Structure 1
């Protein structure tokens, strides 16, 4: 294991435990990821790509953003081609995906582009400068918001909010089924190290969450309950006046996510392109993630006025949105056969299972105030090849 200095944030969390006693794992994870200036996502440094700790679909090829843009163009049409249209990216990172999306909208639909307003929502304010440079040609259309603006209802929009690998990074509660019933994992301190203790749940919402899904964990089974994902969706739904919410992330429907085959849940850490199961090391320096419960997002969405338009694997979404057309255009523009092969290899990562991203990632599209939209992802992509 690499020797890294995580002493400052470690000390802050240990002090909190010393003052309050053991804290829910969700609070520990929140500090590790979002402590101002020290958390994984709120400290300077590149987290994604070759220089970071993991890759996302954004890093594979700009076609990923172009295909999202194709679907956004269809959303605009299904909304009646309004004169103004908001595109909101939640968890905008360095701004590469937003750049790819807006570049493509500009190329594909000049009328939509004329009325587009792009809002970037990002927890790390220092990234605004990097985002601004990437989006330089579109700056007149770009504005910035903090996650709190969405959470507090200060951000209102009509159009499309999308996110890519955002919800998996929300702080989550850990629970375990014991002979005494459901217990929550709390983080305690032993000297300068962290340990776990099981205790009664910190909120009745945890048992209610599983009960609502009809889920009963097996004895000894541990899993995650992401209440923050539900709260985020509630905020997004309240902020959306009319339009769509497009969520891309790795996850499952509840029966698979909470099935007995997942005895230890899905929590994983990422550091320099390696996975780690121990969240109590490299505090603030490694990513901590869990798989998304898409069943709950869809169910809660319906209650909030968000109809489920489409749910499925990323490869199905990308193929139906026009992957083959994009591939053929790229190959036609390639100058050499070697370049063509490189393009094919890159795009395969987006759609292939078993080492690719095609079925690991899922896409959920929800709509508000748009009746029976006919989106690209709803086409039979098998007939488009």
Structure 2
């Protein structure tokens, strides 16, 4: 196994453990991902793409951003073409998705583009300058906020907040069913290494979460509970005056996510495009992620006034939003058959199941203050071909 110097963050976490005796896994994961200056997402360095640790749909082709842009344009229309509209991207990274979305909106609907305000929210402070450079020709439309502005209620907007592979990166509680009932995983210090112990849950919210879903885990079954996702959604619901929340991520409905086929849970690390099952190596230097519980997002959204407008696989969303039209336009502009074939093979990654991203990734659209929206993703398949 390739070694990296993770001593600084490892020392910070070990000190906390020694002070408290042990910490819940969610606290360990929070430090690994978001410790200021040392966490995976709060330290400099490319995380996504060939030079990073994983790919997202953004890296496949700019058409992904164009199709999101098509749906955002449609959202503006179904809201009655208001004189102002805010688009907020949370987890904006290096800004490539924002660029693809803004480029497409400017091309598709110049009137909408001229009244659009676009806000980027990103945990890594150094990326703001990278985004500013990449998005230089869109600067009049742009503004920036740290995640704390959303979490602490300082943002208010009307329009659309969207995210791509954001919620899977939220720190989770890790639980395991034992003969004595649900127990939570805590992290302890074992010399220079970390180890796990099982203890009663740190909060009754964990057992309440499973009870609301009607989930009973089998003995030995481990699972993740993402309370942070629900808190985040609460912040979003407060910030959104009227409009939509568009969430793209990998995950399942609760019966499948917590089913017996996933008795080890879904928590994994990624390091240079390989899966790492050991959560306690390369501390703060490897991505750590778990699949999203879309059932709970929808239920919590309803309670917060965010009504489910649409939920389904990514391939259905992309095709309904205009994937075929975009593909045909790209092929028409290609000058050789080799180029056309390359376009087809590239775009297939976005929609194909089993090895592609088409069914692993899901899309959830929630609406607030917009009754019966007729969005592109809601089109019947028979209307598309």
- TM bin, normalised by shorter chain, reads over 0.9
- Aligned position for 2:225: 225
Q: Secondary structure at the match of 2:68?
A: helix
Encode CA deviations 1:113-167: one digit per residue, 9 max, x unaligned. 0110000000001000111111111101100000000001101110000000000
> Aligned in 2, Cα 1:25/1:382: closer, same or farther, shift over 3 Å?
farther
Query: Does residue 1:116 correspond to 2:110, yes or no?
Result: no
Give TM-score scaled by structure 1 length.
0.99
- Aligned position for 1:238: 238
- Aligned position for 2:207: 207
Distance 1:381 1:29 in 2: 41
- How far 1:109 sits from its partner (Å)? 0.6
- Aligned position for 1:166: 166
Distance 2:181 2:382 in 1: 47
Could you list the structure 1 runs, at least 4 aligned residues long, displaced by more than 4 angstroms after superposition. Answer: none
Distance 1:65 1:292 in 2: 21
- Aligned position for 2:255: 255
Query: Does residue 1:19 correspond to 2:19, yes or no?
Result: yes
Q: Secondary structure at the match of 2:30?
A: helix
Note the 1:129-168 alignment, pairs <5 A.
129-168=129-168
Distance 1:152 1:339 in 2: 48
Give TM-score scaled by structure 2 length.
0.99
- How far 1:231 sits from its partner (Å)? 0.3
- How far 1:313 sits from its partner (Å)? 0.1
Distance 1:187 1:343 in 2: 47
- Aligned position for 1:351: 351
Note the 1:327-342 alignment, pairs <5 A.
327-342=327-342
- How far 1:381 sits from its partner (Å)? 3.0
- How far 1:227 sits from its partner (Å)? 0.2
Distance 1:368 1:380 in 2: 23
- Aligned position for 1:275: 275
Distance 1:94 1:337 in 2: 33
- Aligned position for 2:314: 314
- How far 1:335 sits from its partner (Å)? 1.4
Distance 2:265 2:373 in 1: 35
- Aligned position for 1:46: 46
Distance 2:269 2:382 in 1: 36
> Aligned in 2, Cα 1:382/1:195: closer, same or farther, shift over 3 Å?
farther
**Pairs aligned (count):** 385
- How far 1:383 sits from its partner (Å)? 3.8
Distance 2:382 2:67 in 1: 17
- Aligned position for 2:71: 71
Structure 1, gaps ≥5 residues long: none
Distance 1:238 1:381 in 2: 34
- How far 1:3 sits from its partner (Å)? 1.2
- How far 1:111 sits from its partner (Å)? 1.2
Query: Does residue 1:373 correspond to 2:360, yes or no?
Result: no
Distance 2:21 2:356 in 1: 43
Encode CA deviations 1:1-57: one digit per residue, 9 max, x unaligned. 101111110011011100111100000000000000000000000000000000000
- How far 1:382 sits from its partner (Å)? 4.6
Q: Secondary structure at the match of 1:238?
A: helix
Distance 2:200 2:299 in 1: 27
Distance 1:318 1:62 in 2: 13
- Aligned position for 1:28: 28
- How far 1:169 sits from its partner (Å)? 0.2
Encode CA deviations 1:189-237: one digit per residue, 9 max, x unaligned. 0011000000010000000000001111011100000000000000000
Distance 1:382 1:20 in 2: 60
Distance 2:337 2:382 in 1: 27
